[in-house]
Amino acid sequence: MVEHQDETRAAYDGVVELYASLFADRLETQPFARAMVATFAELVHGTGNLRVADVGCGPGHLTAMLDELGLDAFGLDISPGMIDHARRSHPALRFDEARMDAMPVADCALGGVLAHYSMIHTPPGELPALLAEQVRVLAPGGLLLVSFFATGGPDPVRFDHKVTPAYSWPVERLAELLAGAGLATFARLLHDPASERGFLDAHLLARRQ
């Protein structure tokens, strides 16, 4: 797991300013994704635990959105360059360098975890351990919103992401992994292809059992 994380860290450190310029305002043109994040925030409010981690936060734009939606949000990312950018762009918010499989968060501490296309670089065999870490930090009834590229085939598909290799997932397969980790998926959204590869944008909203 460490090797691919080192590669991911280095790759994102090398594109911080370009990535931020391309994606910091992207949800303004993505109404479906924006609606899912807003729904996630509303449901987290309903749990009474407003503490939320934006894992793989990148330049911090979604952490800021969660804050605007009334959550006590903080961002985590493996890339020190991204964390530095996020801190400069959103000085009132907390951002920490951390791996998604080793979060500096106490057990059962969070009402929600947002993973917006941040699990896509994890090799399929390592994803169950990563999901177990998200479950560890969620309080019972806490929510996970995971967004990813969806493929129609039976197996995950490795592809050349613009930054570093990534994987698209069959929606049912990923939902099964969530269930195996102790997360009950209760909402799904798939919409138009996200790229020239024809993958769908997919969002799964799940609750810790």
What is the extent of the structural domain holding 6? 2-208
Average pLDDT on 93-98 reads 98
Q: Is the pLDDT of residue 63 over 90?
A: yes
Write the CATH number for 150: 3.40.50.150
How far is 44 from 95, CA to CA, in rounded Å? 20
What pLDDT sits at residue 196?
A: 61
Q: Is this model's pTM higher than 0.85 or not? A: yes
Is the pLDDT reported for residue 24 higher than 70? no
Residue, of 10 and 184, whose pLDDT is higher? 184
Bridge pairing between strands 94-97 and 72-77: parallel
Q: How confident is the model at residue 162 (pLDDT cuts 50, 70, 90)?
A: confident
What pLDDT is attached to residue 21?
75
Please count the CA atoms within 13 angstroms of the CA of 173 that sit on its side-chain side. Answer: 18
The phi-psi region of residue 136 (left if phi > 0; otherwise alpha if psi is between -120 and 50; otherwise beta) is alpha
Residue type, 77: D
**29 burial class (0-12, 13-18, 19+ CB within 10 angstroms)?**
exposed
Percent of the chain predicted with pLDDT > 90: 76
> In the prediction, which pLDDT does 195 show?
60
Task: Name the pLDDT band for 28 (thresholds 50, 70, 90).
Answer: confident
Structure confidence by residue, pLDDT tens digits, 163-208: 788 999 999 999 999 999 999 999 999 988 656 667 899 999 999 9
Biggest CA pair distance of the chain = 44
- How many structural domains comprise the chain? 1
Tell me how far the alpha carbon of residue 148 is from its chain's centroid.
8
More confident residue, 196 or 125: 125
- Give 152-161 contacts, CB < 8 A, sequence gap 24+: 156/124, 159/197, 159/199, 161/120, 161/121
On the question of pLDDT at 2 being above 60, the answer is: no
